[in-house]
Amino acid sequence: MDIERVGIVGAGQMGNGIAHVFALAGYDVLMTDISQDSLDAGRALISKNLDRQVAREKISQAAKDAAMARINSTLTLTDLGQTDLIIEAATERETVKQAIFEELVPHLKPNTILTSNTSSISITRLASRTDRPEKFMGFHFMNPVPIMQLVELIRGIATDKDTFDTLHAVVEKLGKTSATAEDFPAFIVNRILMPMINEAIYTLYEGVGNVRSIDTSLKLGANHPMGPLELADFIGLDTCLAIMNVLHDGLADTKYRPCPLLTKYVEAGWLGRKTNRGFYDYSGETPVPTR
């Protein structure tokens, strides 16, 4: 299958990063979101991040200009139906994702491949709500997309070989590396990463260490580039909680029980960097621990 035009659902943190790397790799991109402000903000961030690559001499100004020219946007979800590949990068809620695919299905070309950038939700279950489970896959990019090299490829139970081979080739054209994961809750990266973050939150909750001591311990004691609480804020505490709930519900093992403190932060609206407050307060020049 030849992929030339790519539709991206969502212009937020993940969607604009995915649009960035596809446009830079020569694909025509059509991006949609629920508001023009979101689309404008996504496009502005792509331009800013491409400028950063130009300044670092990673790409030329001409490459940046060409990439921006390949990105178009629409407020009408069904306009994406005529693209060759659709990547859903909406919020990590299954009902939202199902509604998106159900609206898209009647408008798709026969060969359009559907994918989800979900970090944890069953690909088989999402695919079952469409007319093409054989052409449906998990296409999980890491954040920030322009920098992170890995893409998880997740086959649902019905995904055919042509679809997998096509997406594997797309990842290579993007200059990234793929890892194949089976369709079990949270796949590979988040199956390992999220319980570690959740355990760090339990360590804080139980008073074993404060925010700064926990993050310093993992950065200097395990050579992690970011401490687990700092990373949780970067990912978004609502996303962390959603993934832990998927693990807990899907695997029925108490070791995946979300820490009550994580739940409390999310209930308070303290979601991390995107709300300027999580395990750190980001309102000043330097992040300050909130506990």
Which pLDDT does position 48 carry in this prediction? 97
Return the CATH fold of 190-289: N-(1-d-carboxylethyl)-l-norvaline Dehydrogenase; domain 2 (1.10.1040)
| Interval 25-38 mean pLDDT | 97
Q: Are 267 and 255 in contact (CB under 8 A)?
A: no
Which pLDDT does position 1 carry in this prediction? 75
Give span(s): CATH 1.10.1040.10, the chain: 190-289
- In the set 116, 120, 178, 190, the catalytic residue is 190
Residue 169, pLDDT above cutoff 90: yes
* Whole-prediction pTM: 0.90
Tens-digit pLDDT profile for residues 124-157: 999 999 999 999 999 999 999 999 999 999 999 9
Dihedrals φ, ψ of 203, to 5°?
-60, -40
Residue type, 88: E
Residue 20, pLDDT above cutoff 90: yes
Residue 97, pLDDT above cutoff 90: yes
For the chain, how many residues are written?
291
Known catalytic membership, residue 168: no
Which pLDDT does position 86 carry in this prediction? 98
Question: In the chain, what is the straight-line distance between the N-terminal and C-terminal CA atoms, in Å?
Answer: 52
Which pLDDT does position 207 carry in this prediction? 97
Which pLDDT does position 92 carry in this prediction? 87
Known catalytic membership, residue 116: no
* DSSP per-residue letters across the chain: ----EEEEE--SHHHHHHHHHHHHTT-EEEEE-S-HHHHHHHHHHHHHHHHHHHHTTSS-HHHHHHHHHTEEEES-GGGGGGSSEEEE---S-HHHHHHHHHHHGGG--TTPEEEE--SSS-HHHHHTTSS-GGGEEEEEEPSSTTT--EEEEEE-TT--HHHHHHHHHHHHHTT-EEEEE-SSTTTTHHHHHHHHHHHHHHHHHTTSS-HHHHHHHHHHHS--SS-HHHHHHHH-HHHHHHHHHHHHHHH--GGGPPPHHHHHHHHHT--BGGGTBSSEE-SSSS-EE--
% of residues, the chain, pLDDT over 70: 100
- In the set 152, 178, 198, 230, the catalytic residue is 152
- In the set 38, 49, 73, 119, the catalytic residue is 119
Superfamily of 5-181 according to CATH: NAD(P)-binding Rossmann-like Domain (3.40.50.720)
Residue 280, pLDDT above cutoff 90: yes
| Interval 232-240 mean pLDDT | 95
In the predicted model, what is the mean pLDDT of the chain? Answer: 97
Buried b (16+ CB within 10 A) or exposed e, 205-219: eeeeeebbebbebbe
Which pLDDT does position 11 carry in this prediction? 96
Known catalytic membership, residue 140: yes
Known catalytic membership, residue 103: no
State CA 18 to chain mean position distance. 9
- In the set 140, 178, 198, 230, the catalytic residue is 140
Tens-digit pLDDT profile for residues 172-202: 999 999 999 999 999 999 999 999 999 999 9
Q: How confident is the model at residue 99 (pLDDT cuts 50, 70, 90)?
A: very high
Give span(s): CATH 3.40.50.720, the chain: 5-181
